[in-house]
Structure 1
Amino acid sequence: MRFTGVRRALFVIAAALLCTTGTAFAQPSTLMAKVVVIGVSGLTWGDVKSSPGLTALVNQSNVGSMSVKTAGPRTCPVDGWLTISAGSRAWGTGTEQECADLPAVTGGKVEGWQTYVDRQAQHHTGAPIGRLGASRDGICGFGPGAALAVAKPDGSVADWSPAFDAAKLASPACQDAIVDGGVLPPREGRTEALLKVADLVAKARAAGGWVLLTGVSQEKLLSHQQTLVALQLPPDNGARWLTSDSTRRPGLIQLTDITATVLRGQAASVDPAGEEKAGPLGGSEIHATGDVHTNAAAVIDDRLDANQRYEQPRPVLKAVAATLAAALALSLGWFLIRRNSLWARRTAIFALLTQAGFFVAVFLSTATVWWRWPSPGLALYGVTIGISAASAALSLLLLKRYAYLGLSLAVYVVLVIDAVLGTPMQLGSMFADGPVIGGRFYGFGNSTFAALAVAALVLAGWAAQQLLDRSRALAALAVLAVGGIAIVVDGKPGWGTDFGGILGLTPAVLLMAWMTWRGRVSWRALLGVAVGGVLAVSAVAYLDYLRPPAQRSHFGNFAARVIEGDVGDVLVRKLQAALAVFHSPAGWILLVALVLCMLATVLPERVPFASYRTFYLSRPMIRPTLVALTVCGLAGSLLNDVGIIVAGIMGGFAVPMLVAHLMGVPRPATVSPESHLVQES
């Protein structure tokens, strides 16, 4: 079958691109013989700025920001220390609990340890708490938090002291160390606590080794407020920026990187039950990258600015969404009241296109460096609204009734360029969960995938329509070319690195190409498309799995869990996350809206709008394009952990463009179903 050959070609291209992908940064430099981790709960860059002792350490250190997201809704001290213990995100505090004191050690064992073990199973975290302590001997612990970090899988602790002991730290028996630097009080006494932290760092440095001072927790429910401090000293070759292969961002590491650094990337061989291999580490070794910095004040200001970049997007997203929704509601209301008014129609069309223009603005806004402006939140709001409106106006001016093509092309080009450059526009965009929430640190997230999918499928449909009169085969190849680029960009490790995205986009592109080529769909074709998509994705995941563990992306880590039989908790967590949207009425409203959109695609004759029915039959490529969008939205919703939100975002981009096009195009002569069939034959 000719289409099978095309599918195999895409498979080979994807495999070849994957094999040429390397890590985003150079490999970690060799660590000193001893690694000393000093964890302080709640240590912020504002604390560094207010503490002369900590400020003085900046030019002597590799520096970065620490993302402290754990598995639960809170990152209490117990959650942070258990995450270091497991090397992957752990759940320490009960769902309804406030942050409690750290457990005591009685009889050489952490009190209540089994409760923490049971909590991992209850919430399907898959976190093997006790992994660090089980890895090898010679890891010393000092303080109550360190007891959790160095405890063995049964909760027992060895080489542990209730308080810091400089002499013990300096002894040869202490090969590495975890030190609890305490919990910073919110207000009164914080200055004195920071003095003790600076003194603790000085004592740890005197013992020799590679000292990492880092924040380990914040206590706010469902809001980690900001990234915390990470200072590593002495620097290997001049003070630079900390990073890891798990974040691929200069100046940014995450909590699980600590475990990988202490273990030098080597995981423990057993889980808490002592029966199976533990899953892959959630982090990678910490190392330094970038230029040398020599100005402590500038470094601190840069980190405070970075916090704005991480914190503002989600709150501002709500304000932008409310503004666009209000403008759209008012303009459509005016149009419904004054249907014969040309200005009312034009205003409604512009509001609809501005809504779609948001999907351009959400990425281009990062190019304005808004987080360095005097009022970052207000700047992001203004920039996003401005770019959304400007994109709509420019598309209308240049393309008039084909304005949707301009918006789709803009999103497509911007995201292709962003992926090739290593996705710099994602960090700090409204579509990235970001380090504060502990979401994706690099590549494309679900929201970005949804925008790219709509742009790619709309452009592919338009390109195929231009070639359809010449050759159906050429038109199908155009679909494969436009869609194939989007698949590679979205899925290639080091670029989009989006496992769930290519699972949703690949079958949609293949099905659209088949419908373009053959003009109809059979069950055999559907089965072939599904199997081809699964095989292509599986091959990419397996090739990524063959790379060293530290270099793997989400693809390879998922394949490792499948091969090692450790994928159950991951799938359960993703299913729970996908179903969480139905905990509120908004989720059910979204589901009803999406079902209606899908029915409009497969049963156009039932839609009570003559303009839509006429439009559906006006061009042969409209049906394949709408079907492909429906398939992609359905597959993306079923295969991603945000569920129907994927389809909702796709609808938020595609539907306004469609409605604006229907309102702006003069109604053509009536096209009968019979003439449509003749046109497609």
Structure 2
Amino acid sequence: MLCAVAIGALVGFPAAPAGADVRVATADPGPVIVVGVAGLRWSDVSVTGTPVLASIVDGAAVGALSVRSAPAPPDVTCPGEGWLTLGAGGYAAIGGSAAAGCVRRMAPPVEVADHESSDGVPDGVSARVPDLPALYAVNAGLRFGARPGTLGDAVPCAVAVGSGAALAVADRHGMVDRYVPSLPDRPGRLFEGCPLTVVDLGSLPAGSGGRRQGLAAVERALGTIEASRPPGSTLLVLGVAGSVGDPAPRLHLAALTGPGVEPGWLVSPSTRRAPYLQLSDVAPTVLTLIGADLPAGLAGQPVRGGGPGRPDGVEATAAALVDLDRAAAAQRAAVTPFFAWYGALLLLMLGLYALIRRRGGAPGAAAGGAALLLAAVPAGTFLANLVPWWRAPYPPFAAWVATLVAAGVIAGVALAASTLGRRPARPGGAAASGPGGAVRPGRAALVVAVVTAGVLAWDAVTGATLQINSMLGYNPLVAGRFVGFGNLAFAVFATAALLAAGAAAGGLRRARPRAGIALVTTAGVVALTVDGAPAWGADFGGVLTLAPAFVVLGLLTAGAALRPGRLLVAGAAGVLTAVGIGLLDARRPVEQRSHFGRFVAGIGDGSAVATVQRKLDANLDLLFSGPHTIAALVLTGAASVWLLRTPAPLAALYVREPWLRPALVSAVAMAWIAFATNDSGVAIPIVAMLVAGPTVLAVHTLNRPGRA
């Protein structure tokens, strides 16, 4: 019943957030010119320093370009990989060790014969990238399965200017229709020879030393292109990759101008969040602009112009996009120290608790409050994004301060709410009501869990502005997700939702058991709707996980044993719910589908198998990325077993707080099902423990004998 109600609740939900329904450039096909500069970022744009580029930006649809390729951040996308990804329409790699840097991952050479037209103006000759068939084979064996040469195979004719451009427009056999090694002084006829011209303007230096001179050269080339491009042509300017020597990945410039392209933000159906787009979107965009058919297997989607919300003026637009880049870079730099400090605080808390217990003492109320604060930290990481911590002189410290302030407010509200109601009886008198009573640990935990789940539900429904670039959210540089629930946010949301439903149902379990079961069912439907709606959570793997977890919670709340047949029913509930949502989503137009619909549609053409294999590979890559992940898995598994075996320290607590064990069992079930079904693998049980562990410690510490 749970899955049927959840699927029914999702019927009619829009597939994309508000603002995504903007016009695509659909004018009569004219020549398309793509200009790529490795390392070109929005911080390079200014009216005085780059007037030609600023003029292009002023009348263009613009966006923040994620140049993610097959090597995952923190590796920088090298220029060769950027051009190869552009031509493949999917995350591609040159090969070689990512640790070796860009020197060993450069674009391969181009074989071309000398040629000059009769009037002295180069018009291009055919050329060959001899390494492309080998690159095709290399990428076929990678988990993303990119197919270099896809753009070249799909266009009827293309001109390449420079070696990077040749790599982008070569077909899968390495053949380039027309090629010139550098931009001629009079390129007008070159632009008219084919429907697509791709121009490689080289790479900007990573440091400040030669960057000004590099930008001046780009300005001169853009001026030549602007003066020479045919009427009715479309121009797309890209920061196609990182610069050689860049220490970390960054977001890059994208500007599209031409007939039918409305100024504003660029909107990509693949990211579903303006103004972000991906390098893999460029190939389908170009093919759409020239009126060619889109081949199967492209990872990206055609981008659209005219997205609302762009600031007026070039400087304001550039400043807004620089801020997005700064936030993404700051989050990448802050995540490692954040988890190091958070882990240290948790270990310190557990160590002090064990020491006090070993000496026969009992932790005081301060220890319980500290544990409650740690339980509220996951929610605090998202609320921290309400303030621009990334603009601070030292962003990691600012992120911690913002997180702790938000967590402190949540914990304070929880403690205050837990004292409302009955007061302890005065000597010789009846129990009083109102504020000031003893702390009720179960109620305090309920408030923290409700606030945590509520914050993430509200964020998902309103566009996930708190998840992007948060400590437990996602990052556009990684480009795994731009909207909905990321895997870590899902782990927080699901654990908190199960704890909240369990605690609330526990209060009804004895007096009105049916009401408790109804509450769990209602909470499950709400959680599945938020998590699974394509316009909200859009989380296929989360639905597979959350539905059986709520079935387990419902069974335990009803006092039923977890027999194998019932566990099979719980698993089937997740599969049926996810497939049902996917079937509904697959009925929408291709450009409006979330990955629910794309996966279900891919069952017919075989791409769903590749998706499953890619997620499995990502799961295993993360698990075996180092001894720290294996150790974390072992420790998390041991903690899960410890919680489920009802150890002596928790036996009495389970009697005083009967809701706690069903909630924990369902949360542990959720975490390990998610470990098996999501590409974040071991990270989900670890993050789930960051929510459940401090909650158990807070309830246990606050629930000392003599407290109401």
Q: What is the TM-score when the length of structure 2 is the normalising length? A: 0.86
Paired with 2:255 and 2:205, the residues of 1 have a C-alpha distance of 20
Question: Comparing both structures, which one devotes a greater share of its residues to helix?
Answer: 1
- Decide whether the 8 Å contact of 1:35 with 1:210 is kept in 2: yes
1:232 aligns with 256
CA separation of 1:191 and 1:10: change in aligned 2, threshold 3 A: closer
Q: Which amino acid aligns with 1:195?
A: A
Paired with 1:13 and 1:338, the residues of 2 have a C-alpha distance of 50
2:425 aligns with none
- Decide whether the 8 Å contact of 1:126 with 1:570 is kept in 2: no
1:37-436 alignment runs, 5 A limit: 37-49=34-46, 51-53=49-51, 54-73=53-72, 74-96=76-98, 97-99=100-102, 100-106=105-111, 108-165=127-184, 166-167=186-187, 172-187=192-207, 188-206=209-227, 207-208=229-230, 209-218=233-242, 224-233=248-257, 239-264=263-288, 278-291=296-309, 293-338=311-356, 345-373=364-392, 376-399=395-418, 400=439, 401=441, 402-436=443-477
Paired with 2:92 and 2:698, the residues of 1 have a C-alpha distance of 47
Displacement of 1:549:
1.8
Displacement of 1:69:
0.6
CA separation of 1:380 and 1:177: change in aligned 2, threshold 3 A: same
SS at match of 2:175: coil
Q: Do residues 585 (structure 1) and 627 (structure 2) align?
A: yes
1:472-487 alignment runs, 5 A limit: 472-487=513-528
Q: Which amino acid aligns with 2:24?
A: S
Q: Do residues 528 (structure 1) and 566 (structure 2) align?
A: no
Q: Which amino acid aligns with 1:623?
A: R
- Larger deviation, residues 448-457 vs 115-124: 115-124
Displacement of 1:103:
1.8
- Larger deviation, residues 371-380 vs 477-486: 371-380
Q: Which amino acid aligns with 1:450?
A: A
CA separation of 1:485 and 1:622: change in aligned 2, threshold 3 A: same
Q: Which amino acid aligns with 2:412?
A: A
CA separation of 1:347 and 1:220: change in aligned 2, threshold 3 A: farther
2:701 aligns with 663
2:687 aligns with 649
Paired with 2:143 and 2:204, the residues of 1 have a C-alpha distance of 31
Paired with 1:137 and 1:237, the residues of 2 have a C-alpha distance of 23
Any idea what the Cα deviations from partners look like across 1:277-321, whole Å, max 9, x if unmatched? 732432332423114643332222222222221111232233333
Paired with 1:320 and 1:115, the residues of 2 have a C-alpha distance of 42
Q: Which amino acid aligns with 1:319?
A: P
Paired with 2:135 and 2:375, the residues of 1 have a C-alpha distance of 46
CA separation of 1:291 and 1:666: change in aligned 2, threshold 3 A: closer
- Larger deviation, residues 121-130 vs 284-293: 284-293
CA separation of 1:229 and 1:112: change in aligned 2, threshold 3 A: same
CA separation of 1:118 and 1:171: change in aligned 2, threshold 3 A: closer
SS at match of 1:502: helix
Q: Which amino acid aligns with 2:619?
A: A
Displacement of 1:171:
5.2
Paired with 1:246 and 1:325, the residues of 2 have a C-alpha distance of 35
2:118 aligns with none
> Which of 31, 55, 60 matches 1:34?
31
CA separation of 1:266 and 1:461: change in aligned 2, threshold 3 A: farther
Displacement of 1:396:
2.2
- Decide whether the 8 Å contact of 2:586 with 2:601 is kept in 1: yes
- Decide whether the 8 Å contact of 1:328 with 1:351 is kept in 2: no
SS at match of 1:263: helix
SS at match of 2:201: strand
Displacement of 1:128:
1.8
Paired with 1:571 and 1:221, the residues of 2 have a C-alpha distance of 35
Paired with 1:39 and 1:430, the residues of 2 have a C-alpha distance of 32
SS at match of 1:435: coil
CA RMSD between the two structures: 2.9
CA separation of 1:392 and 1:221: change in aligned 2, threshold 3 A: farther
Long gaps (5+) in structure 1: 271-276, 670-681
- Larger deviation, residues 456-465 vs 217-226: 217-226
SS at match of 2:364: helix
Paired with 1:617 and 1:461, the residues of 2 have a C-alpha distance of 15
SS at match of 2:199: strand
> Across the two proteins, how many residue pairs are aligned to each other?
654
1:555 aligns with 596
1:274 aligns with none
> Which of 495, 501, 512 matches 2:536?
495
Displacement of 1:219:
5.1
SS at match of 1:177: strand
- Decide whether the 8 Å contact of 2:280 with 2:300 is kept in 1: yes
SS at match of 1:659: helix
Q: Do residues 12 (structure 1) and 8 (structure 2) align?
A: yes
SS at match of 1:37: strand
SS at match of 2:216: helix
Displacement of 1:489:
0.7
Q: What is the TM-score when the length of structure 1 is the normalising length? A: 0.89
